[in-house]
Amino acid sequence: MVAGKCRLGRFLSLCSLIMDYTKDQLIDALVAEWDYLCHDDYDPQDPTPEEYRKEMEELTIEQLIEETSTGEGYTLEEFMENWV
């Protein structure tokens, strides 16, 4: 029963977050972060920001949120504040 409550709680939290941000906003933030990270640690093997954007456009909103690597220590709200 506890595991079910955890999954339901995570689902409700995720639904709340999805309603706060559009897919385009999440993609813009992820691309801004990507551009910053690549600028500081350039690797010719890395995709360009345009290529990275195309990759992100293929993901669902849930997958985009996962891509932000946010959670309890660094929230999605903080991520979006930093990168939008």
| Measured distance CA(10)–CA(14) in Å, rounded | 6
pLDDT above 50: residue 46: yes
- Domain spans of the chain, in order of start: 2-83
Mean of pLDDT over the chain: 84
Specify the pTM. 0.76
**CA separation for the pair 54, 77 (Å, rounded):** 23
Q: Given this model, what pLDDT does residue 10 score? A: 53
pLDDT of 31-43, one tens digit each? 999 999 988 888 8
